[in-house]
Amino acid sequence: MEKWIEQLSICIENGKTNKTASYPPNMKDQDGAEEITRKALEAGVMPSEILKGCMAGMQRIGERFARNEVFVPEILMSAKAMTVVMGFLKPYFLKGEVQRRGTFVVGTVAGDLHDIGKKLVAMVVEGNGWEVVDLGVDVSAEKFLEAVAAKPGCSVGLSALLTTTMVNMEKTIKTIKAKYPNTRILVGGAPVTHGYAQQIGADGYAPDPQGAVRILAGMGS
């Protein structure tokens, strides 16, 4: 069992989707996430253990990204490999055989159309075991509120890339907290700082995707 989990973890970290994939070059013609997941399930490996292997790979690539050792393309390839595995595991999630660590609602705040940073966070968080509800860009406070109502107990992530749209983070936080005061909200984005997060009443600030994972884990989401 450990052999399959370790191999899968390596595939996720390196973005190896399947055997025919040419990326990464040093894993050419080797089994990828698709083949290893199928073989692991056929060998009786528990879906929850498969997810743990994926989480380990996503954690390593996320930490390397935080250290500037890899960049956006590498993260996207890891996320692509993770998506392949999730295709196999989805039926087990639906049956309740694999438990999510929690639910994370994420979106770029109203007036802001930037998507890449938010998507990276969503991919890494999902790869670490959370159910992710991605609301997209230019998301109003009311739409966030509707999502929180639909997912009781969820945590929320707000993203902004423009100083002119950062103010909408505060409005969104106030709107959510007024009705659901126990909802945990973290913020991020290029112009956002830890000090600003505290100023507007956020529960956490993450400068990178792996930081968001650590905060969510600490929140007990």
HEC string of 89-121 equals HHHHHHHCCCCCCCEEEEEEECCCCCCHHHHHH
Euclidean distance between CA atoms 63 and 212, whole angstroms = 11
Cα 97 → chain centroid: 21
**91 shares a domain with 108:** no
Query: Of 51, 67, 95, which residue sits at a domain end?
Result: 95
Residues 6 or more apart whose CB falls under 8 angstroms from that of 64 comprise 70, 74
**59 shares a domain with 129:** no
Query: Of 55, 79, 95, which residue sits at a domain end?
Result: 95
Euclidean distance between CA atoms 180 and 43, whole angstroms = 45
**72 shares a domain with 54:** yes
**91 shares a domain with 190:** no
**110 shares a domain with 65:** no
DSSP 26: G
What CATH number has the domain bearing residue 86? 1.10.1240.10
**Residue 138 in contact with residue 111, Cβ under 8 Å?**
yes
Q: How far apart are the first and last CA of the chain?
A: 29
pLDDT in tens, 88-135: 988 888 788 888 899 999 999 999 999 988 988 998 898 888 999 999
What CATH number has the domain bearing residue 117? 3.40.50.280
**90 shares a domain with 129:** no
**Residue 210 in contact with residue 188, Cβ under 8 Å?**
no
Euclidean distance between CA atoms 192 and 200, whole angstroms = 11
Q: Which domain holds residue 212?
A: 103-219
> At 160, is the secondary structure helix, strand, or coil?
coil
**Residue 120 in contact with residue 108, Cβ under 8 Å?**
no
Q: What stretches of the chain show up as alpha helix (H) in DSSP? A: 2-14, 33-42, 47-66, 72-95, 116-127, 141-150, 167-179, 194-199, 209-219
pLDDT by residue, tens only, the chain of 221 residues: 788 999 999 999 999 999 999 999 999 999 999 999 999 999 999 998 998 899 899 889 988 988 999 998 998 899 899 989 989 988 888 788 888 899 999 999 999 999 988 988 998 898 888 999 999 999 999 999 999 999 999 999 999 999 999 999 999 999 999 999 999 999 999 899 999 999 999 999 998 888 999 999 987 54
Please provide residue 115's backbone torsions phi and psi, each rounded to the nearest 5 degrees: -125, -25
Q: How many domains does the chain have?
A: 2
Query: Of 63, 95, 127, which residue sits at a domain end?
Result: 95
